[in-house]
Chains A and B, each alone.
Chain A
Amino acid sequence: MIKKVINNPKDVVVETADGLILAYHGDVKKIENSNAIKRTEIRPGKVCLLVGGGSGHEPLFAGFVGENLADGAVSGNVFAAPAPDQILAATKALDQGKGVLYLYGNYAGDNMNFDIAAELAESEGIATKTVRIYDDVASAPLERITDRRGIAGDLFVIKIAGGAAAKLDSLEEVYRVAAKARDLTRSMGVALAPGSIPETGQPTFTIGEGEIEIGMGLHGEAGVSREKMMPADELVSRMTDLILKDLPFKSGDEVCLLINNLGATTMMELLIVNRKVRALLAEKQITVHDTLIGSYCTSQEMAGFSISLLKLDGELKQYYDLPAKSFAFTKG
């Protein structure tokens, strides 16, 4: 059994939500009949943004509910998509008559459960649209981009979509901007050691002492290669190279940079990573508009990190720069 500070493993999801709601100091409240939260005050007539997915990745998703961010978040069990009735309850609690945009990572379970919820919402007269996030370049080749997984780049898409949902009047328009942010986001991760699921107490994968896996997914899904541990600069060069050539990012581009801790990696290491990423971007004459470094999208105590880049254009920059306030992401 891997050590975790929990009570009954079956209660982790509910107890996490309880703690999170208290940490929001009244800015969010629980949605009845659902393991979901919503902003306490939602402007009537607003297009609403609902994010969600399996638990275990805290602070994603429920940590990003707030001003100019998501209006609500629905959480499933650890590493499992929320069920349709939970998503539907959240959808009904959010809708202000202008429809609800679903934003979540591209996984079979999330796709099916949100799709069922969307059908149920439609039958109750609530319009929804869906943007699935697939930023992980390691998970499928570019020709099959819609097979890719959603990882830490989720945060950029939530930030832009949240801004758009605060300013734009139609679900169609919010959808268009969110999809554009998704299309201009790329990420790549590396895992050094596994996380574990509270109910089993067992690691989600095994990896040798001196080994790392470049491109490994948030649930231990395989990446691009398993290698011997290497110096930070060499590792960051390999990862950044794969990200840059995928979009591709070009000289003169302006980007937002996210260096995300998967759970157990130290801030010291993340800063060393940042130093090298910035050097590589400077070499390519890519300018960095904003940098986020920390734990945004985790996989329990998995050791490792991911690098995400969002390419800005005038429209996206305007939404990115809006102030935001939430438990896990606040911007002045």
Chain B
Amino acid sequence: MTVEKLSLSEFKGAMLAIADGMIASKDLLTQADQAIGDGDHGIGMARGFEAVKAMLSEKNFAQIEEVFFSTGTSLLSSIGGASGAIFGSFFMGAAKGVKGCIELDAPGFKNALAAGLEMVKKRGGANIGDKTMVDALEPAVQAAMAYNGNSLGELSLQVYIAAEAGMQRTKTFTARIGKAKTLGERTLGFADPGSISITLIFKFFSDYLKQMA
């Protein structure tokens, strides 16, 4: 059995599970960022998803897009830095893909992912190979588009697997954008911390659906 779609309250539960997972990943992300950045990525993401958690517990939602959008604005205003702008833009962009939906199904999730990617690329200007979260997000979106089934559970697993593979590939890239870009070849062998974060977000979403099934 896999889950076909999520109701509004189930989707809110999924976002809460993602937030808990990201908060628990603080040390892992900090260590990844210390290797090739300034070491604040874990702190920022944990702070951001603490804000998301607080927002989810306070707000009531009428539509799926509101959950995405409020998650985005919470991240944007609480993380700051490049991570806040990029992860905030991803969720705010994703909201545009599910306008008017009161449930999240596979086609809706595909649209949300595509709209999220578009917003991230517009804001950050990163392309595949620049060693950023786009290296995990773009193949994840491509995998979503290639999925023809009706199961949100299966789709989310495909998305996570593709993101994970993209994240692993960033170990073979030298950074061309962001603070790590001046580290050049020293970044070889390390995964981009932002690509780890987006992969974890998809992992926690997929895990939530798996545990529901």
Contact = CB atoms under 8 A, between A and B. Distances in A.
Interface of A: 54, 76-86, 107-109, 112-113, 115-116, 139-140, 147, 149, 197, 199-200, 202, 204, 217, 219-223
Contacts of B47: 77
A290 to B, nearest CB: 30
A108 B177 contact: yes
A112 B124 contact: yes
B75 to A, nearest CB: 9
A82 to B, nearest CB: 6
Interface in B37-83: 37-40, 43-44, 47, 76-83
Contacts of B181: 147
B96 to A, nearest CB: 16
B70 to A, nearest CB: 13
B51 to A, nearest CB: 10
Contacts of B77: 83-86
Contacts, number: 105
A123 to B, nearest CB: 15
B76 A139 contact: no
Given A83-B79, A200-B30, 11 more contacts: A79-B40, A79-B81, A81-B81, A82-B80, A83-B78, A83-B80, A109-B81, A116-B85, A200-B34, A217-B182, A221-B38
A74 to B, nearest CB: 10
Contacts of A108: 82, 124, 177-179
Interface in B159-190: 177-184, 186
Contacts of B43: 77, 197, 199-200
B76 A84 contact: yes
A76 B81 CA distance: 8
B141 to A, nearest CB: 20
Contacts of B34: 200, 202, 204
A77 B39 contact: no
16 contacts: A77-B43, A77-B44, A80-B84, A83-B80, A107-B179, A109-B82, A109-B84, A109-B179, A112-B82, A113-B81, A116-B76, A116-B123, A202-B34, A202-B39, A219-B37, A221-B182
A67 to B, nearest CB: 29
Contacts of A109: 80-85, 178-179
B183 A222 contact: yes
A219 B38 contact: yes
Contacts of A200: 30, 34, 39-40, 43
